[in-house]
Amino acid sequence: MMREVRADVVTIGAGGGAYPAAFRLAKGGRRVIMVDPKGVMSGNCLAEGCVPSKTMRQAAYLARQARQADGHGFSGDLMPDYERIVAYKDSVQERRYRQHARELREAGARLSLLKGTASFVDPHVVAVETDDGEVRIRAANIIIASGASVSLPPIQGVELCVTSHDFYALNPSVRRLPESVVVIGVGYIGLETATLLNELGSRVHLLARGERVLRQADERLAQWLVESLDERIELTFGAAVQRVERTPSGLAVTYLKDGREERLETDLVLAATGRPPVIPPGSEAVGIALDHGRIVVSTALQTSLPHIYAPGDVNGRSMLFHSAVRQSLVAANNIMAGDKPVDFMDFDAVPTTVFTFPQIAYVGVTPSVAAARGVRLVETAFSLADDARAQIEDEAQGEVREFFDERSMRLVGAWVEGGAADYLIGELAASVARRAPLRELAELADQHPTSAEAIGKAARALL
């Protein structure tokens, strides 16, 4: 039997684009229902994304440290055990699921989570397919935060490939370290997984369809990463994968390169060819505008229907968990303001880290973005080869680079190659968010001995 319930706000999805808004709005007195087929809060980031992949990366980092320990005066071997690494990953995911369940309980009766898949009936009603039949929710506002999901390349034998889900989901299907792996795709998921498997001891071959990696990143930065990859990793550009087949001993990948067929024998093939947005059924029919499979949003996160918002991966603007969180809060603030925008998303202030070995991170306007926008930049850098902390850790490579708008000499962009890029980009992103003047960066008393010193030093090089 169909039931109909009312809410102030319904969120489609319960991931990073949904729950920050849901909590905020419930705190502000609204009655909010989150809908997600997983039946748990936190979306793909915890299910198969950031958290499990970084837990696996930590193991790879320790394996690397164990190898480097010799140079620091240690002797003896420490060998990674993949089964136990996966078990630890699962335990971190389970711990965070328990935490989120507690947070949801503590949020009180105004916030609830309904397990099911939502589709639009009309601009104010969604139908949810639950285990107990259909529930219709009528709401004043709707937040579409249905995220993105893996897409498989249209090649023969694609069913023989694994995806990031098979590595990172709870109880993943990949349970032993492959001796060799071919990775199709050189976006951040392909590169991160490739470098972590390499650190753990797999033989890795990356296949890139085009002539560069990381299409979203600045070309110079991406090029540095390519040049800095471990020499054991093979990387072939201009490789159009044709098919994957079973062989007596494993798998074979056939690709076209310069018009010739090449073949690689391997244990495992990872397809990492992108994550297109997931659009809830009925969205277009109720009048929500799409562009190239993404929901069109303003910087207030409103869709073409002003009472419907679409924060997170589903709008394709910047597909990162922390971006979704901030977008979610922008949506919540604008809902509380009665759909008359008071809060706006600054996409230029969202940092991106690619958690490869070595890492890179970037934020805001870098030269490729500046060229596209017709902005002129003044740039300055400090080399991490000369950085105390990088030397202490025997990771003295890369740089911190800052980009100032030529007219105002305010910070509009930055990147970090190598080192603690994931941490350093936080301070740089905070400065980009404020468009900090050069002098402000130059006057920072950055902590010694941490690589944050490079931030002030790069700025002082211009004075």
Interface residues with ligand ADP (CB under 6 A)?
A: 12-18, 35-38, 43-45, 117-118, 145-147, 278, 280, 312-314, 321, 324
Asked whether the beta carbons of 32 and 110 are under 8 A apart, the reply is: yes
Query: Which H/E stretch holds residue 119?
Result: strand 117-122
Residue of 435, 441, 438, 439 whose CA lies nearest to 453: 441
Q: Which is nearer to ligand ADP, 206 or 314 (CB)?
A: 314
Asked whether the beta carbons of 139 and 7 are under 8 A apart, the reply is: yes
For the bound state, the minimum distance from the C-beta of residue 278 to ligand ADP, rounded and expressed in Å, comes to 5
Q: Which is nearer to ligand ADP, 122 or 443 (CB)?
A: 122
Largest CA distance in the chain: 72
Question: Quick one: tokens of 78?
Answer: 């420490």
Q: Which is nearer to ligand ADP, 331 or 459 (CB)?
A: 331
For the bound state, the minimum distance from the C-beta of residue 280 to ligand ADP, rounded and expressed in Å, comes to 4
Question: Quick one: tokens of 347?
Answer: 């996409």
How would DSSP label each residue in 179-228? SEEEEE--SHHHHHHHHHHHHHT-EEEEE-SSSSS-TTS-HHHHHHHHHH
Q: Which is nearer to ligand ADP, 172 or 312 (CB)?
A: 312
For the bound state, the minimum distance from the C-beta of residue 327 to ligand ADP, rounded and expressed in Å, comes to 8
Q: Which is nearer to ligand ADP, 324 or 438 (CB)?
A: 324
Q: Which is nearer to ligand ADP, 14 or 329 (CB)?
A: 14
For the bound state, the minimum distance from the C-beta of residue 141 to ligand ADP, rounded and expressed in Å, comes to 16
C-alpha pair distances (Å), 407 with each of 347, 432, 439: 21, 15, 14
C-alpha pair distances (Å), 385 with each of 61, 138, 218, 396, 397: 20, 59, 22, 4, 5
What is the distance between the alpha carbons of residues 28 and 34, in angstroms, rounded to a whole number?
A: 16
For the bound state, the minimum distance from the C-beta of residue 311 to ligand ADP, rounded and expressed in Å, comes to 7
- DSSP-based three-state secondary structure for 445: coil
What is the distance between the alpha carbons of residues 178 and 286, in angstroms, rounded to a whole number?
A: 47
For the bound state, the minimum distance from the C-beta of residue 42 to ligand ADP, rounded and expressed in Å, comes to 7
For the bound state, the minimum distance from the C-beta of residue 380 to ligand ADP, rounded and expressed in Å, comes to 34
For the bound state, the minimum distance from the C-beta of residue 339 to ligand ADP, rounded and expressed in Å, comes to 21
Q: Which is nearer to ligand ADP, 194 or 324 (CB)?
A: 324
Per the listing, tokens 């249209």 go with 154
Q: Which is nearer to ligand ADP, 35 or 63 (CB)?
A: 35
What is the distance between the alpha carbons of residues 125 and 142, in angstroms, rounded to a whole number?
A: 9
What is the distance between the alpha carbons of residues 342 and 299, in angstroms, rounded to a whole number?
A: 11
